[in-house]
Amino acid sequence: MPKNLHTQLLTLSLLVLSRLASAALPAAVEGQPLPSLAPMLEGVTPAVVNVNSKTLERVRNPLAEDPFFRQFFGLGNLPQERIKQSLGSGVIVDAAAGLVLTNNHVIDGADELSVTLSDGRTLAGEFVGADPDTDIALIRIPAEQLTAVPLAATSSALRVGDFVVAVGNPFGLGQTVTSGIVSALGRSGLQGLGYQNFIQTDASINPGNSGGALVNLRGELVGINTAIFSPSGGNVGIGFAIPTPLAKEVMRQLLAFGEVRRGSLGIQTQDVTPELAELLGLGTRRGAVVTRVQADSPAAAAGLKAGDVIVKLDSKQVIDGQSLHNQEGLLPVDEAVSLVALREGREVRLSAVLKARLRALKGKDLDARLAGARFVELPEQLRQRGGQGVAIEEIEAGSRAAANGLRPGDVITAVNRRDVGDLEALNQRMQAPPEQLVLTVVRGRRAVLALIE
């Protein structure tokens, strides 16, 4: 190639590249502005905060147990302590009251809470309440020039395919925005989580996003980001958020009662097996077979009977006994719910008003031999793994329960070899205290029979 032609081509190329480099992205195409999430996010991001929790932990120091090191290095017998920090996200949902929603696992056991706003201010956080079974926690910060994100209206039904945006603090990097769509609704059955009714999304959610906001394109809060499904620990496009209506109901109860009061139909069930389906002449293998209806329960008042197969609760499909239990725990107390059951080959429709479940039982109210023990329900995570029974939360020192060898953490699974599934069942078993009381106690990985005297 002639030298002068090469020079001309090089000059022309540089000229074209310089023009391209200086060309700005057009603000509009054919008179239509280019789409952008920026205007919506300007109203959302000030309401999404970073949550920092600090927990004081006692740790074992092997050197402090050695007499030589204790003597020559002055370690003494004092316990060693360290501060454990956890970073997560939160959403301001009430600017006037300074209320911030986050995940329970972000602040669980924290001795100190602080909240950093998008404008750089760091404020002390006050713990209001938490519900481990839905992984929702509520904290309060000083209501000083705060911005809240509006909650999506119940009428704004979320659909699979709707665009959503996640805002949070992944890996402690600072406020980060990702976008995606709603991949599925009503997800449940995830290991290690309590009552479940998740929004699934492919918007990137990573460690640190927990407690952050999932918003629609109107800038309304549709969910609280809480978990991911990942074999590697990083985002693979499967994230989960707690729907706003559920988070709102949990917040209402935490403010009103300091706890969440869950409803119960007052029944015991089992899954529909192929054998049961054939025996009962069912055209489906889905549903929960009622095996027992407690007296004076909402189910009894509604007319539910043993042998009925519940296939829908409040218009939602009942897959098995666990899904029924999950749905019960997500419904508000003292409100009517609809039931669809199969009875002798025909469909019956019933209505019931859920009553609050027992939260705890004192041993002295059951039997004098159990005085000093406090019984509570098993955590929902254990029930999802097949756990049955009631747990002993505490034992008073010097009490009769303590003298009988019962310990905090014990799980009672049977009374006189009759299974005890929950507090209601324990209460029923002890209505007529037996002359000889034998408890089946699970302690660690061992099950023992304990004669209570």
Catalytic residue from among 133, 135, 202, 422: 135
- Band the pLDDT of 286: cuts 50, 70, 90: confident
203-217, 269-283, 432-446: segment of lowest average pLDDT: 269-283
Does the active-site annotation cover 210?
yes
Does the active-site annotation cover 323?
no
Cα–Cα distance, 366 to 439 (Å, whole number): 13
Cα–Cα distance, 203 to 190 (Å, whole number): 19
- Tell how far CA 366 is from the center of its chain: 32
pLDDT the model gives residue 280: 75
Catalytic residue from among 53, 89, 105, 410: 105
Instruction: Give the CA distances from residue 448 to residues 47, 120, 408, 428, in Å, rounded to whole numbers and listed in that order.
Output: 53, 56, 15, 22
Cα–Cα distance, 219 to 205 (Å, whole number): 18
The H-or-E segment that residue 198 falls in is strand 198-201
The burial class, CB within 10 Å (0-12 / 13-18 / 19+), for 310 is: buried
pLDDT the model gives residue 27: 59
Catalytic residue from among 53, 89, 210, 297: 210
Residue 382 CB neighbour total at 10 angstroms: 15
- Band the pLDDT of 21: cuts 50, 70, 90: very low
The pair of structure tokens assigned to 45 is 């991001």
The yes-or-no verdict on residue 58 having pLDDT over 80 is no
Average pLDDT of 66-74?
A: 54
Percent of the chain at pLDDT above 90?
A: 40
Does the active-site annotation cover 135?
yes
Instruction: Give the CA distances from residue 181 to residues 149, 201, 216, 255, in Å, rounded to whole numbers and listed in that order.
Output: 20, 6, 9, 32
Could you read off the pLDDT of 305-359 as tens digits, one per residue?
A: 988 999 999 888 888 887 888 888 888 888 889 999 998 878 899 999 988 877 8
Instruction: Give the CA distances from residue 223 to residues 10, 135, 337, in Å, rounded to whole numbers and listed in that order.
Output: 55, 12, 24
**Residue 31: φ, ψ to 5°:** 85, -5
- Tell how far CA 336 is from the center of its chain: 24
Beta strands in 246-286 (DSSP E): 263-264, 267-271
Cα–Cα distance, 366 to 368 (Å, whole number): 7
